[in-house]
Structure 1
C-alpha cells in the first residue's frame, strides 16, 4: 500500500503542485511575519541595550496622566526633573557618574521645499548636544562642530539628507514655540554607520536652548542617567536613587529602560506581524477548501483503484492510512517549501526596514516558528483530506467491477446544517453588539467564522440555480450550453471551488459597506451639526506638538466676512479620575459653529475654573450641574472645575469643554483646529485666501472645509479598504489556483467525454470556449455569493454598531468592479485547463480506460 501510494503521489506532479500552492502561500506569509518581527525586535532590543550600556539607572518625573498613545512611553516629555533634584543625585552613593539629559519629541525642521520634514511615525526629537561627544559610546560627529552659540544646531544625518541641507546652511525649526532660524554647525550619526536608530530625526541645540524649546523653561531636564560604580548592582543603584528623589519620580534600571524603549517599537511591529500572519491564516483557510476538493475528486477518480486494493486484501484501515499519509506528505512538503520561502520573504522585509533606519542583524529563526508553521500547514492539509479519506476507506471491493457513475447524495441535510451554523454566527454577531467594541473580539470573529462555514455548506444547493441563470447569457451556443451543464453537474465541487473567492469577496464587501456607511454618516452629521464654512487644520500625522497659537484667532476675526471663529485646543487629561480628552475653546462661539444645545444648565463663554460636560461623560460619571470635577493635566497641577452645563447628545462635539485659560498645563500650548463661519457664502473664497496668507508661515497648518475634513477623518478607513483589497487579491490568487486544479482534474475525469466531443466535430477553439465558460461561471458564482454575504454582513455591522452615527450605503461601483475581477480571474484560470482539453488526442481519449 505504501509503494502504491507513493507511486500514485508522484505520478500526478501537476496536481500536487497546484494543491500545494495555497499551503505554500499561507505558510510563507506566516513564517515571514514571525521571522521578520522577531529579527527586528531582537535588533531593537540589542540596539537599546548597547545604547544604554552606560546607564545603570534612569530617573524621570512621574505623571498621573497617561500618554496619548496609551502606552506610557511617549517621546514627548511633559513632567521634568528640576535642577535641584539633579544636583541631589550627583552625590548619590554608589554612582560613578550622573548625567542630566534633555530630549523630547517635537523638533520639526522645514526643508528647502518649504514643507516640514516628515518622519511617517517615528518621533522628531530635539535635545541638548553632549558636553563631551568623544566620551559618548554611541553618538558621533560626522561633519562640522557641535553647537556653541544659541543659533546653532547639529542635525542627524537622515534629517539633514531629508531636509536637503548641510553644514553652514540656514534652517527653520518649529518646536513648542514659533519657528526660529538656526545655522547647521554639524551633522551627527551613530557609530557603526547608522544614520538613525529607528527612523527618528534629531535636532541638537545648546543646553539652554534645548531646555527652553523642548521642555518650556531653562534649568530642567527630561531625565537623569546614572552609571554605577564598580561592584554596585543596577537594582541597588535604583533603590538608592529612589530614596533620594522620593515618590514624585520614577527610577528604572538600565535594563528596564531598554525594555521600555524597545516595547513601543515592538508594539508597532506586532501590528505589522499580525497583519502578515492574518494573510497567512486566510490563505491556509481558503487553501483548505482547495485541498478538500482536490482529494475528493482524486478519491472519486480512484474508486476502482481503491476497490481493487480492497479486493486484493487491503482493509479499510490501510486505505484510510494511505490517503491520510498522502495528505501528510503533501502538507509537510508544502509547509517546508512555504517555510523556506517565508525565510526569504522575512529576510527581504528586514532588509527593506533596515533601509528606512530600522536595526538589522542575522535572521532570527526560533524553533517555535519552524514547528508552528510546519504544524499549521500540515494539520490543515490532513484535516482537509480527512473526510475524503474516510470515504475512500468505505469503498467496497465490488466497486471495482462497476463502471456506472454514482448518483449525487441529497443536499438537504448539508443545507440544513449550514443554515443552522449561519444562524449561530448571526446570533454571535448580535450578542457581540450588546457589548462594547473592545469587549470580546473572539465573539465577533467566531460569528464570522460560523457564517463562512455555514455559507460554504449552503452553497451547493444554490450552485445549479445560480450558475444556470447566469449561464443563460452563453447557452445560445453548444459550447456555452455544455459549459453551463458541466458546472451544474457536481454542485458540491462547484461550491467548494468557489469558496476561496467567496470568503475574500465577503470580507472586502462587508468592509466596503461599513466604510461607505461611515463616510455617508459623517457627511450627514457634518451637514446637520457643523455650521462652519472653513477650517484651519493641523496635519494629523504631525503629532501632539504641531499646531498654531490660539491668539491667531484675534487676527482671523478681523478678516472681512468672518462672523464667528473659534480655535480648538485638545489634550488628554485625568478628569474625575477618568482618562478623557477635553477641548479648550470659546464655548459660546462653538455653540454657533456646531449647533450645540444644553441638556442641563447653560452654554456660554467659560471662565477659568468652569467646565461644560458632554452628555456621554456626564452619564458615565453621574456629574450634574453645580458639581465639581477635578482635572489633572499633563504639565500642570490638579484643578477643580465647576460644571455649569451639560450638552445634549452631539455627534461632532463628544468631549467636555473648558476655558482656554485652564489649558496652560496641556502638553502643547498650540491649538490643533479652528472653525470659521462666514457672513455670506459668497465670502468663502475671499476668506479662504486671507486665511492662507495668515498661516503661510506655518507649513503644518492648512485651510480646508468640511468636505476635506470628512476625507481626512476617513483616511484610516481607506487604508483598511486597501489592506482588504490586497486580501481580495490573495484570495483571487488562491481561487484561480482552485479553479485551475478543479478543471484540470475535471478534464482528466472527462477524458473519454471530451474525446467523443472532438470525434463528433467540436474543434479545439470551441472546446476551449466550453472550459472557459465553466471557469467563469465558477468564479462569478463565488463572487456573487461573497457580495451577497458581504453586503449582509456589512448591513448587520452597521445596524449593530452604527447607532445614529452610520448611514447605510451600498458601494455599487465597488461591487461591480469586484464582479469584473471575478470574470477576469475565471478567464485566467481557464487558460491551462482549456489548453490541455483542446490538445487531447481524439483516438487515445476515446480508447481511455
Structure 2
C-alpha cells in the first residue's frame, strides 16, 4: 500500500537506460550546434568588419553592436528550436513504437506518446541558450575591434590571436577536466557516472583550444600534401586560426561521439547479452509472452508443466516464475527457480550459494539492490510480501543486467508461498539425447494453447539481445544526426570562406587560374580540417569509449568488457566522409564564381 507517486517513480526507473543514452547523445548534438553557431557568428563579424569600423569611427558604441548580434543569435535559436520541436514531435511518435518490449511491458501501463507542457519551451530555451552563449563568445571580438584594424583582412588582426595566459589557463583547465572525467567514471556513482562522458568532451575541446597554433599548422601541412591547390588552401587556413579550430572541433566531436558512444554501446550489448547466454542451455521455453518481454504473467494453465513432461522425447521440465514487487522504494524483479534450474537461470551462482538458495535459506540479489539498500553477502534482507514481512539472508550479490529493475533470485516454492502465486509463468524443457528435436517441438506446440509461445533457447538469447540493442538504437540515431550537423558546419564554414575571399578568387581567375584549380584548393582546405579533426576525434573517441564503458557498467550494475573494435575505423571513416561532403558545394561555388561579379566593389 503506497502513494500513486511510488508507482510513477518505479515506472520512470524502467526507462532510465533510454533516457540517459538519448540525453547524452542530445547533449553532443547541442555542443556541435553551438560550435556551428560560434563559427557562423565569427565569420559574420569578420564579414561585417568594414561596417563595424565605420560605426565605431562615427561614434558608435560597442554595447549596442554586441546586443544586436546576441539578439540575432537568440532569434535564430527561437526559429531553429521551434522548427526542431515540431520535427521532434513527429520523430517522437515514430520512436515510441521502437521502445524495447521488455521496457514497455515492465511499466505495466499503456504507453502513449505525450508531450509535457514544459518540453517544447525547455527545448527552445536550450537552443536559445546555446545560440546566445556561442554568439557571446564570438561577439567578444567586437570589443577588440578598432576602426583601423578592422579594415585588415580576416586572420591578420590581433583579434584572431590568443594570449599566452589564456592558452595556459586552457591547458590547466583541460587537464583538470580530464582528471575529473576519469575520477567520475571510476567511482561507482551509479547513473551519475555517465557525466564523465560530457566532461571528457569538454576537456578535449579545452585542450585543443590551448593547442590552436599546432592544430592550425597541422591542418595547413595536411592541405599542402595536395600540391599547388593545397598550398593555396593552406594559406587560407593559416589566416583564420579561430575558424579552423572551431570547424576542426565540430568534426572532432562528430567523429568522437560516433566512435566512442557506438563502441561503448556495442560493448554494453555484448556484455549484457553474455549475462543471458545461459538461456541457451535449455532447449525450449514455454511462456504466455514472447521472450522479448519478461515472463511475469499471466500464469500458465495449471498442470501444463506435467503434460509437457509427459511428451515423448522430453527429458526434463523445469517450472519457474517471475514477478515484479516493491522492495524499499524501488521496484524489483522476483525470479523463482527450482533446484534443477542450475545450468540455465542460476548458472552465475556459486555452488555454495546455489545449495543454500535451493534449500530456501536465502536469496541472491543484483548489485543495484545491494547498493541502494546498503546490504552485502551475509546481511539480512526484509521482503514485504502479501503474507507479511519475510527476513532472508543475502547469499550472493550478482552482476545482473538491471536496466529495468533489480533482481532477487529465490527458491520457487518460497515465491509461490510468500507471494501467493501458485503455478509458474514459464517452463523450460530439455530434449532427451537422440530424440528428434523438430518432432518434439511440434508435439509441444500442439499440446500448449495457441496463445502460448514456444521458443528455443537460442531464440531466447537472440530475442533478449535484440531488445537490449533496441534500447540504444535511438541514441545511435541521434549520434548520426550529430555527424550531419558537423557536415553542415563544414559546409557553412567553407562557404563563408569562399564568400569572404571572392575578390581574391576573382583576381586569381583574372590572372588565368582555372576553375578546377580553385575547386581543388577548397577541397584541400576541407581535407586538411577534416583529416586532422577526424584523427583527433578517433583518439578522443577511443578514450571516451573506455570512460563510457566504465560509466555504463556502474549505471547498469554489470561487468562490461572494454573491447576496441576494428569497426571504430569504419565509423570514423564514415563520419569523416559525411563531413567532407559539406566541402563540395563551396568548391563548386568557388569554381563557378564569375570574374566580374567577384571583382565588383560592394
8 A contact 2:244–2:529 mirrored in 1: yes
1:659 corresponds to: 412
**Structure 2 residue 583 is matched with structure 1 residue 830:** yes
- When residues 811 and 713 of structure 1 are mapped into structure 2, their CA distance, relative to the original with a 3 A threshold, is farther
Taking structure 1 as reference, are residues 415 and 663 closer, same or farther at Cα in structure 2, changes over 3 Å only? Answer: farther
Q: Is the 8 A contact 2:295 2:322 kept in 1?
A: no
Relative to structure 1, the CA distance from residue 470 to residue 288 in structure 2 (aligned partners, 3 Å threshold; closer, same or farther) is: same
1:648 & 1:349 partners in 2: Cα distance? Answer: 40
Alignment RMSD: 5.0
Deviation for aligned residue 1:494: 2.0
Match of 2:503 in 1: 752
Match of 2:35 in 1: 289
Superposed, which structure 2 residues align to 1:589-628 within 5 Å? 589-590=341-342, 594-595=346-347, 598=350, 603=355, 606=358, 610-613=361-364, 620-621=374-375, 624=378
Distance 2:140 2:357 in 1: 77
Checking the alignment, whether the CA contact within 8 Å between 2:260 and 2:542 is kept in structure 1 is yes
Task: Output one character per residue of 1:298-330: Cα deviation in whole Å (capped at 9) or x when no partner.
Answer: 33344454344444444xxx13421331331x2
CA shift for structure 1 position 795: 0.7
CA distance in 2 between counterparts of 1:678 and 1:514 reads 38
Kindly tell me: are residues 534 and 272 of structure 1, through their superposed partners in 2, closer, same or farther at Cα, counting changes over 3 Å? Answer: closer
Range with greater deviation from structure 2 (507-516 or 574-583): 574-583
Residues 255 and 537 in structure 2, CA contact (< 8 A), matched pair in contact too = yes
Find 1:842's aligned residue among 587, 592, 595.
Answer: 595
Superposed counterparts of 1:508-527, under 5 Å: 508-522=258-272
- The partner residue of 2:253 within 493, 500, 503 is 503
Partner of 2:547: 796
Task: Report the Cα offset of residue 71 of structure 1.
Answer: 1.1
- The verdict on how the C-alpha distance between 1:471 and 1:673 changes in structure 2, with shifts beyond 3 A counting, is farther
Q: Aligned pair in 2 of structure 1 residues 602, 484: CA closer, same or farther (>3 Å)?
A: same
Report deviation, 1:837: 1.3
| Structure 1 pair 584–767 and aligned structure 2 pair: CA distance change class (3 A) | same
Map of 1:646 onto structure 2: 395
Q: Is it true that 1:428 corresponds to 2:180 in the alignment?
A: yes
Alignment of 1:212-231 (within 5 A): none
Structure 1 Cα separation of the partners of residues 17 and 397 of structure 2: 37
Counterpart position of 1:450: 202
The structure-2 alpha-carbon separation of the partners of 1:428 and 1:360, relative to structure 1 and needing over 3 Å to count, comes to closer
- The residue that corresponds to 2:103 in the other structure is none
Partner of 2:190: helix, strand, or coil? coil
Unaligned runs of 5+ in 1: 1-62, 75-263
Indicate the residue corresponding to 1:731 in structure 2. 482
- 8 Å contact kept, 1:597–1:647: yes
1:398 positional shift: 3.8
1:283, 1:730 within 8 Å by CA — same for their partners in 2?
yes
User: d(CA) in 1 for partners of 2:443 and 2:203?
Assistant: 52
Contact persistence 2:336–2:410 (CA under 8 A): yes
More strand by share: 1
Compare CA radii of gyration and give the structure with the larger one: 1
The aligned residue for residue 331 of structure 1 is: 73
Cα distance 1:704–1:510, how it changes in 2: closer, same or farther (>3 A)? farther
How many positions carry a matched residue from both structures?
575
Matches within 5 A, 1:185-200: none
Matched, 1:544 2:296: yes
Q: Equivalents in 2 of 1:488, 1:722: separation in Å?
A: 40
- Whether 1:743 and 2:497 are equivalent positions in the alignment is no
Distance 1:461 1:591 in 2: 61
Distance in structure 1 (CA, Å) of the matches to 2:116 and 2:347: 57
2:559 — aligned with what?
805
For residue 423 of structure 1, give the secondary structure of its aligned residue in structure 2: helix
Measured at CA, do residues 406 and 331 of structure 1 come closer, stay the same or move farther in structure 2, by a change above 3 Å? closer
Match of 1:582 in 2: 334
Deviation at 1:654, TM superposition (A): 6.0
Using a 3 Å threshold, how does the CA distance of structure 1 residues 414 and 564 change in structure 2: closer, same or farther?
A: farther
Aligned 8 A contact 1:459 1:495 in 2: no
> Does structure 1 conserve the Cα–Cα contact (< 8 Å) formed by 2:250 and 2:486?
yes
Q: 1:312 to 1:812 in 2, by over 3 A?
A: same
* Residues in 1 aligned to 2:544 and 2:21: alpha-carbon distance in whole angstroms: 21
1:3-46 per-position Cα deviation (integer Å, ceiling 9, x unaligned) = xxxxxxxxxxxxxxxxxxxxxxxxxxxxxxxxxxxxxxxxxxxx
Deviations 1:585-611 (A, max 9, x none): 21244257744655757717946x654
Distance 1:695 1:432, change over 3 A: farther
Q: Which residue of 2 aligns with 1:107?
A: none
In the TM superposition, what is the alpha-carbon distance from 1:477 to its structure 2 partner? Answer: 4.5
Q: What does residue 518 of structure 2 align with?
A: 767
- Secondary structure of 2:335's counterpart equals strand
Q: Structure 1 pair 401/821, CA: closer, same or farther in 2 (3 Å)?
A: closer
The structural deviation recorded for 1:569 is 0.9
Distance 1:838 1:739 in 2: 18
Q: Say whether the 8 Å CA contact 1:588–1:604 is kept in structure 2.
A: no
Q: Give 1:820's aligned residue.
A: 574
- Asked if 2 retains the 8 angstrom alpha-carbon contact of 1:466 and 1:781, the reply is yes
Quote the Cα distance in structure 2 between the aligned partners of 1:534 and 1:441. Answer: 39
How far apart are the structure 1 equivalents of 2:334 and 2:16?
30
Contact 1:525–1:651 (Cα < 8 Å) also in 2: yes
Task: Give deviations 1:509-544, integer Å, cap 9, x for gaps.
Answer: 3322222222333465566x6781434164244773
Per the alignment, do residues 723 and 505 of structure 1 end up closer, same or farther by CA in structure 2, a change over 3 Å counting?
A: farther
Deviations 1:375-434 (A, max 9, x none): 654454333233443322323344367679347636865554444344333443323542
- TM-score normalised by length of structure 1: 0.56
- Give 1:271-420 correspondences, 5 Å limit: 284-314=30-60, 318-328=61-71, 330-338=72-80, 341=83, 345=87, 376-399=126-149, 405-406=156-157, 409=161, 416-420=168-172
Q: Is the alpha carbon distance of 1:677 and 1:425 closer, same or farther for their aligned partners in structure 2, counting shifts above 3 Å?
A: farther
Structure 2, unpaired ranges of 5+:
98-109
Q: Does 1:71 align with 2:11?
A: no
Q: Identify if the C-alpha distance between structure 1 residues 663 and 797 changes in structure 2 by more than 3 Å, giving closer, same or farther.
A: same
Q: Deviations over 1:654-678 (max 9, x none)?
A: 6332133641564865644545556
8 Å CA contact 1:562–1:676 kept in 2: the answer is yes
Tell me if 1:566 matches 2:308. Answer: no
> Partners of 1:320 and 1:789 in 2: how far apart?
38
Q: Determine which structure has greater relative contact order: mean sequence separation of CA pairs < 8 Å that are 6+ residues apart, divided by chain length.
A: 2
Q: Answer whether contact 1:547 1:701 (CA < 8 A) is retained.
A: no
